[in-house]
A and B are shown apart, each in its own frame.
Chain A
């Protein structure tokens, strides 16, 4: 399992989650956890996904998500989970 954190930050609009999930499903990425909150009026969503079976390399995966974000006026980032784990877990 290769855990990756996908974050979506931006103005709330219809279909954000649907669009991201469709992309993930099309690329055989499994969603393990999903949560969302509003901070300072901005929509924040975080997904923990497993990219072990992803059909694309990490760079392309991250780049394409970024593009989907651009189309919906929000910022989508994909980061390996390790960076959060090492900072927040002993």
Chain B
């Protein structure tokens, strides 16, 4: 479904991604892990068109979407839940959700209320808070709005950039349960996570990004058995590795 080939992206004059390649098949959940500064968020921005790459190609099905403007990328069915949520804090919860469907607002107006109801079914708490300003919600509720807002775009591929960041464990559980359900219903997920256990519980395949390069890739079970992954990301086996 999504095919990224030898992608290089700069942040100003600093090269952050050095020839990253990965693919996501339809219906799959793929995890992307790596330390701070490995280039995970940059990759998300490159795919969605916020930060056009310098080299390489991004393909969605058979179409080349490299360096396409974000407004056109979202029309093709890729939505991003950005790092740090990036809600419209002075707008209400409902307005935030509705703006998620902005790109199909004119064409699909009749459908929007049903879609909104669906989001409220998924996250009942948002229905209670629909008239509240998004900036006044708790962190967990804000993340629900961010996920709901991305779902309102009716994506075929949902990119999530660190959805668990800064949240309480119970809230994380709730949000990941929702993501798991959505995946079972056929949504394709590309999940960026620092919390590797969480990511591996969700995904079947994963990529490990290190300083802008794919260092490791493969099925989650294989990666979990990998010494390096164990040491660096799972905090296990210090003794085995060091002694």
**B and A form one assembly:** no
